[in-house]
Amino acid sequence: MNNTINIRGGVVDVGKPCVMGILNVTPDSFFEGSRKQTERDIAERANQIIAEGGCMIDVGACSTRPGATPVDEEEELRRLAFALPIIRREQPDAIVSVDTFRPKVARRCVEQWGADIINDVEGSEEMWQMVASLHTPYIYMSSRPSLHDMLIEFADVTQRLHGLGINDIIIDPGFGFGKTLEQNYRLLSEMERLQVLGLPILVGVSRKRMVYQLLGNTPAEALNGTTAIHAIALYKGASILRVHDVKEAVEAVHILQQL
């Protein structure tokens, strides 16, 4: 299992699971508590993520929630041009990931505003070429509904990425993307099998429909269910938890490590 990624020429070990805090600079992300649009709110959220034990900040400027209409590239860039310098000012040493599916946005974020990782929910050839030229770690997400199909996809994609010179790859099984409630939980029950690929695994389930639909509540009430799934995901090999609630996720990591 390769538990390291290269960030700015240094090696970061994710063998001890890492918590990635979500910072959305959008007005329409599905969880209202994650939306930060003013300078003060962005600064406070960036500082909170690190103060509570997070090791990465994932910045999103274009909502990918089900049913959302993506903003155009110009608006996504405008939001990131405002937010990323604030985050870098407040937390210059933090590892910053940008959640985008647009290659030109990825380039601007890395070259102009110092982003460290590209977190991509679509996976186009154009994006792969861009990431190869930027020499940054890359998070590839699968929307395949079954673990069998996902393993085939991940094996194929990682081989192609290696061929382009992209060696720092993190895989994301894409909970909530292209999957029914039953398929999400079946995937969770089998998730340890993804370790055969030898790559860090990112899990993003925080306050998602798979939690609150099962429990009959709302995203605002889904923290307890989210934490339960985080514990299971960690036990099954998750290297990175992408979360809204950093403190609670860090506590789950500490408890699992004690075991």
User: Which one has a higher pLDDT value, 9 or 254?
Assistant: 254
**Per residue in 69-103, pLDDT tens?**
778 999 999 999 999 999 999 999 999 999 999 99
**Per-residue pLDDT, 26:** 80
**Per-residue pLDDT, 1:** 66
**Per-residue pLDDT, 103:** 97
Query: Quick check: is 208 catalytic?
Result: yes
Average pLDDT, integer, range 168-184: 96
With the C-alpha atoms ordered 192, 213, 45, 247, is the resulting torsion angle positive or negative?
negative
Distances in Å between the Cα of 258 and the Cα atoms of 36, 156, 237 are: 34, 36, 15
**Per residue in 13-61, pLDDT tens?**
887 899 999 999 987 555 555 556 689 999 999 999 999 999 999 999 9
Contact (CB, 8 A) for 250 and 52 = yes
Report the Cα–Cα distance between both ends of the chain, in Å, rounded: 20
E-assigned strands of 75-223? 95-99, 117-120, 138-141, 169-172, 202-203
Query: Quick check: is 186 catalytic?
Result: no
**Per-residue pLDDT, 70:** 76
Between CA 130 and CA 136 the distance in angstroms is 10
Distances in Å between the Cα of 213 and the Cα atoms of 192, 219, 223, 224 are: 24, 9, 13, 13
**Per-residue pLDDT, 29:** 57
Query: In the chain, pLDDT over 70 holds for what percent of residues?
Result: 93
- Quick one: DSSP state of residue 101? S
Give me the chain's average pLDDT, please: 92
Active-site hit among 35, 102, 207, 242: 242
* Bridge partners for 59 per DSSP: 23, 98
Give one DSSP letter per residue of 203-258, joined into a string. E--TT-HHHHHHHTS-GGG-HHHHHHHHHHHHHTT-SEEEES-HHHHHHHHHHHHH
* Bridge partners for 5 per DSSP: 12
**Per-residue pLDDT, 102:** 96
Q: Which two tokens stand for residue 233?
A: 């995901």
Give me the residue label for tokens 């979360």: 243
235: left (phi over 0), alpha (psi -120 to 50) or beta: alpha
Active-site hit among 45, 102, 144, 208: 208
Query: In the chain, pLDDT over 90 holds for what percent of residues?
Result: 83
Highest mean pLDDT among 2-6, 27-31, 109-113: 109-113
